[in-house]
Structure 1
Amino acid sequence: MVGKTASCAAMALTFASYAVPDPWWARRAVAVGAVLGLAALNYRGVTKTVMLTRVLVATSLTALAVVVAGIALGGDAGTSRLGGWTALGTGGGYGILQSAGLLFFAFAGYARIATMGEEVRDPRRTIPRAIPIALLITVVIYLTVGFSALLAAGPDLLAGATAPLTTAVDAAGADALTPVVRVGAALASLGALLALIAGIGRTSLAMARHGDLPGWLAAVHPRHRVPHHAEIALAVVVSALAATTDLRGVIGFSSFGVLVYYAIANAAAFTQPAADRRWPRGLNLLGVAGCLVLVATLPWQSLLAGPLMFACGLVGRWAILRRRPDR
């Protein structure tokens, strides 16, 4: 919940960075407006959420294709901007691991398919097939777009960019495509935000049903069949984050939460009986170790805020459990 809520704020701020370059207060207002608008749509039911998601995904893929094509045809991109093989070691092993930890939040969405289990036909068959396919598609797209952007702008210019895709297209000499790329990147961020909101609402519902969150969040709308109380609470929290936090800060905070719960997921999978197991136990151990290593390399602000938030969550859960009659 902590990691994905921060991811929502990151996606809302990313959308605003592409939609409204300046001034800063307008970006904040647009980010909050995006959160409230998508939460209102999701409130109307999962069918409407899926319909809009299809449109946003198609638009996003088109925009990314335009980015790659523009860089390839712009004429100014080249391997010289990568800095040669020696540049791979820039920042050392710690820097590489920290970048992997920060990037992890952008890969974590593939498992969100599992949170929609109640609303999927034949989930036992569909979900285990959909997750690896979604991850593979994501990796291929990220590699293609990321490598193209580096060829166009180089790592230093991209590192300081608030809208890196438009920066890459401009640097490649295809600045005529900048408006198209800006709109496509903004819509891609909206698509990610919509999927996050839908997934977190269902996770909150499941946790509330099991008594790990207040029971008020377990309410399901009688007509739209969505966890409407959870959706409202999420919209309020994410709007507050989008209005007050920094994009890089929420990405680090999100990565902390996501890596911790992926470590827990690997540890939980280790206990599965043989009949339910799909992967060898050694892979679970590798997953736990990898997650913990990446957590340790995150920026110090995330390492400070993350445990503090988890401590508050554990204290709150302890208080809830003490009030339960079956404790």
Structure 2
Amino acid sequence: MSSVPENAPNHCPGTQSEDAGKASACAGCPNQNICASGVPAGPDPALEIIKERLANVKHKIIILSGKGGVGKSTVTSLLGHALAKLNPDANVGILDADICGPSQPRVLGVSGEQVHNSGSGWSPVYVTDNLSLMSIGFLLASPDDAVIWRGPKKNGMIKQFLSEVDWGDLDYLLIDTPPGTSDEHLSVIQYLSAAGVSGAVVVTTPQEVALLDVRKEIQFCQKVGLPVLGVVENMSLFVCPNCQARSEIFPATTGGARALCAALGARLLGALPLDPLLARCCDSGADFVAELPHSPAVLALRAIVAEIVASCDRPKSS
């Protein structure tokens, strides 16, 4: 009987099959080249390297969203700043795994920086004393350069980030992923399988067109065995920066994230309002959490971070 690699895609033909590495189900799988070559399958040596590299990272959290444009990268940057500020003794890292659309360098205000390579590996760029970032954006000659890569090359870049970046001691590593359930997501989950993942935070907006894809994202997490820490509803309401009046820009016609969580048995971590001042901070690379600590968005963010911290520290059920 054909053996199926761990975390293989659905309908994997197995390593002993004549279609190994050639079937349509193999497209984008990190093991595709190995299976196609006919070399006997075995544990990827990178898994142990990554496990050792991330041994001093306590909590690894993957930020997901099935839908583009819901503010996933913005939420990741907000979570990074909030985790670093609410506990100054905590060290936080952000890995920008969106290979084709790296936005974290701009959002975090470090787009002009470069990474340095030493005997201990790549050094991430420090945004603050206890918040660091690694992104392919630091490796491009220009922010306008397009990354036009097929799946295997993107998978290799993610493997390199996970195995060669010297994060040091981290309390939290947030991994910002692109929309969907594709190569990058499978690679991150497979490469972290030995190192362990605390879980995923899923980001959505209230309207049904976003919730359709988020349901698929949660189902993806269930299929690959990735715990879902909870769901964040972004842009839930518009908050006027002048009068603080609130209005519904994206109507929750089917009940929004709250109804989705109730139906799927997921935890609703909280809701972030749509604030134009937040968008301006992201464009300019300013720290919104420090600039407007008493804004409705930051107050909601504090509650969300408290839920995430509690979820990470909660003992895992046996």
TM-score category of the 2 structures, normalised to the smaller one: under 0.3
Larger radius of gyration: 1
Higher share of residues assigned helix: 1
The two structures have a TM-score, normalised by structure 1, of 0.27
The two structures have a TM-score, normalised by structure 2, of 0.27
